[in-house]
Structure 1
């Protein structure tokens, strides 16, 4: 099913899927205000703490608006820099964790290509609250097929392009990540590419998401996992300071 992104869709997603974080944040704000009033905490320190809490709540929303609503990320024009010809007939695989905002965009971008869409979500192992909410409220591609991370039901050397767009970090186990990436390598043609988009556990994302940046993995972790999976050519390009686009080849 095709869906159109609404204004501030990225911000709405952050608020909706991570609302527990905002409940806790506003609860902390109210609690601190009461403590400050009761114990007469000096105005300077009172205001400093309140500003810190409000920035912690606002920064993820501001960054999400920038990255997902204003940067042009969902236009997928950045794919053209990867020497992938949209006019060709390609075998494309898009793999996600149950929240799919890109398959219908890939269909439009590659109208002559054959697109397969897979969902690797496993409620036993992938237990993040945010992705559980996203799955319940998202609208996925009508031809989405459920898979496990250790088996992608495609022939060896059959895919030209594999897209992992803000999805692979939902695989929390390093061992499971490597097994999954090995499957990606198996189905990839020798001339094919894996395009993986991820936030990283780095300083810009710490400034944006604070403790929430631990949900992501570091550049070192991703490169190590990709190399363990057998990939030999790994390049990275920044799309805004907060997103990394990895182009991976056999």
Structure 2
């Protein structure tokens, strides 16, 4: 049994990851920022007992430190961190350079970097220091994005934050290997979460499915399966990797 902190676990990929760990008998701290009702639903769905809710805005460095402390206290320790929470592309975060004001450009850039990169970095620091203090092995898995490689012209801050998250994960893989802490990242393509249901059911659905030669998009469960493997002791030699999960919709060299 391991103790796992999953950020942004109120729904979507985070919920699927939390369910996957709990299904293996692990104890999970379900983090959320504002969607408490959804987070409580995730908690209710988890098999087993000993799970917990932790809340906080990862854009606030003080909150990030408190989240780690609360997860450690609630679970009796943390062995695995999954950095999933992010400010994602949406109508209110669109910031195409030719269309937005400078004020909105700055607002979105700061918010995405604060949460997607710095929030993950601060949580990684806290969990790593906890593991080092215990003298225990562990793992960190970052949820990145295909957009880090192919570009996000309407959401450049998102693409940049995920590319930086991948690079941060590789730096930490080297830094934490002497402490037996493995750090990896996954880079999903389009995933059919609740938030994307309107796109999938609307006029853009066919085009999204056609991005992959499989003729479909990814599922949260497929991302969760990859996270389970990468966080396992058997995958420690994969530390430093960035795993593409996009159904051959984008191939990088």
TM-score, with structure 2 as normaliser: 0.41
| Structure number with higher strand proportion | 1
TM-score, with structure 1 as normaliser: 0.41
Q: Which has the larger radius of gyration?
A: 1
